[in-house]
Structure 1
Amino acid sequence: MPTTTALPASPVSPPPSLPDARGRFGRFGGAFVPEILQPVLADVREAWEAAKADPEFQAEYRRLLRDYVGRPTPLTRCDRLTERLGGATIYAKREDLCHTGAHKINNAIGQVLLARRMGKERIIAETGAGQHGVATATACALFGIECVVYMGSEDIERQNLNVKRMRLLGAEVRPATSGSQTLKDATNEAFRDWVSNPTTTYYIIGSAIGPHPYPAMVRDLHRVIGEETRAQLKEQTGSETPDAVVACVGGGSNAIGIFAPYVGDADVRLVGVEASGEGLDGRHAATLSKGEPAVFHGTMTYLLQDADGQVEIAHSISAGLDYPGVGPEHAYLKDAGRVEYRTATDAEALDAVRLLSETEGIIPALETAHAIAVLESLAREIGAGGTLVFNCSGRGDKDMATISAHLFDDDSARLGASAAQPTEAG
Structure 2
Amino acid sequence: MTSVDTLMQPDAQGFFGPYGGQAVPEHLKKIMDEIAQAYVEISQTQAYQDELAELYQYYVGRPSPIYFAKRLSAHCGGARIYLKREDLNHTGAHKINHCLGEALLAKHMGKTKVIAETGAGQHGVALATACALVGLPCEIHMGAVDIAKEHPNVTKMKILGARLISVTRGTQTLKDAVDSAFEAYLEDPQNFIYAIGSVVGPHPFPMMVRDFQSIIGREARTQFPQLTGRQPDYVAACVGGGSNAMGIFSGFLDLPEVKLVGVEPAGRGFAIGDHAATLSYGQPGTMHGFHSYMLQDPQGEPLPVHSIASGLDYPSVGPQHSYLKDLGRAEYHAVDDQACLDAFIKLSRIEGIIPALESAHALAWAMQKAPELDADACILVNLSGRGDKDADFVAEQLGL
> What TM-score does the superposition give when structure 1 sets the normalisation length?
0.91
Q: 1:212 to 1:396 in 2, by over 3 A?
A: same
* Residue of structure 1 in register with 2:353 after alignment: 362
User: Which residue in the other structure is 1:275 paired with?
Assistant: 265
Question: Is contact 2:220–2:251 with CA below 8 Å preserved after alignment?
Answer: no
Residue 332 of structure 1: SS of its match in structure 2? helix
CA distance in 1, matches of 2:8, 2:147: 39
- Partner of residue 264 from structure 1, selected from 245, 251, 254: 254
In structure 1, the partner of 2:244 is 254
Unaligned runs of 5+ in 1: 1-13, 410-426
Aligned residue-pair number: 395
Q: Secondary structure at the match of 1:206?
A: coil
CA contact (8 A) 1:36 1:195 kept: no
SS at the partner of 1:261?
Answer: coil
Amino acid at match of 1:254: N
2:155 to 149, 164, 172: 164
Counterpart in the other structure of 1:229: 220
Given the alignment of the two structures, is residue 214 of structure 1 paired with residue 215 of structure 2, yes or no?
A: no
Tell me the distance in 2 between the aligned counterparts of 1:377 and 1:147.
Answer: 41
- Once the two structures are overlaid, the 10-residue window that deviates more, 197-206 or 229-238, is 229-238
Q: Residue in 2 aligned with 1:352?
A: 343
Which residue matches 1:138?
129
CA deviation string 1:234-269 (max 9, x = no partner): 211122x21000000000000000001111111001
- Percent of counterpart pairs with the same letter? 50
Per-residue CA shift, 1:29-86, capped at 9, x if unaligned? 0011122312211111011111232111111100000010110111001100110011
| Alignment partners' CA distance in 1, 2:97 and 2:80 | 27
CA distance in 1, matches of 2:186, 2:44: 29
Letter paired with 1:305: Q
CA contact (8 A) 1:30 1:299 kept: yes
After superposition, what is the alpha-carbon deviation per residue over 1:102-148, rounded to whole angstroms, capped at 9, x for unaligned?
Answer: 00000000011111110101100100000000000000111111010
State the match for 2:139 in structure 1. Answer: 148
The match for 1:41 is 32
Maintained 8 Å contact 1:150/1:174: yes
Amino acid at match of 1:85: C
Q: Using the alignment, how far apart are the partners of 2:362 and 2:74 within structure 1? A: 18
User: In structure 2, what is the equivalent of residue 180 of structure 1?
Assistant: 171
Q: Residue 349 of structure 1 aligns to which amino acid in structure 2?
A: C
Q: Give the superposition deviation at 1:344.
A: 0.7
The CA distance in 2 between the partners of 1:108 and 1:34, in whole Å, is 26
The 5-angstrom pairing of residues 274-423 of structure 1 reads: 274-281=264-271, 283-409=274-400
> Higher mean Cα deviation, 270-279 or 52-61?
52-61
Hey, what's the Cα distance between the residues in 2 that align with 1:90 and 1:142? 36
Please give the secondary structure, in 2, of the residue aligned with 1:307. Answer: coil
- Displacement of 1:17 in angstroms is 4.5
Q: Does the 8 Å contact 2:81/2:380 carry over to 1?
A: yes
The amino acid across from 2:309 in the alignment is S
Offset of residue 308 of structure 1: 3.5
Q: Deviation per CA, 1:287-319: give whole Å up to 9, x if none.
A: 111111111111000111123432111100110
- With over 3 angstroms needed to count, the CA separation of the structure-2 counterparts of 1:370 and 1:244, relative to structure 1, is same
**AA at the equivalent of 1:178:** R
Per-residue deviation, 1:223: 0.6
Name the aligned partner's letter for residue 146 of structure 1: P
Whose Rg is larger? 1
Contact 1:15 1:220 in 2 (8 A): no
Q: 1:343-395, CA deviations, whole angstroms, 9 ceiling, x for partnerless residues? A: 01111100010111111100000001101111123223332111110000000
- Check conservation: 1:243, 1:382, Cα contact below 8 A: no
Counterpart of 1:413 in structure 2 is none
Alignment match, 2:14? 23
Secondary structure at the aligned position of 1:192 is classed as helix
Q: Partner of 1:73 in structure 2?
A: 64
Secondary structure of the structure 2 residue equivalent to 1:76: strand
Aligned-partner residue type, residue 271 of structure 1: V
In the TM superposition, structure 1's runs of 4+ consecutive aligned residues that sit over 2 Å from their partners are: 14-18, 306-310
Q: Give the aligned residue type for 1:389.
A: L
In 2, distance between residues paired with 1:322 and 1:378?
A: 24
Provide the aligned C-alpha RMSD in A: 1.3
State the alpha-carbon separation in 1 of the partners of residues 77 and 261 from structure 2. 19
Tell me, which stretches of 5 or more residues in structure 2 are unaligned?
A: none
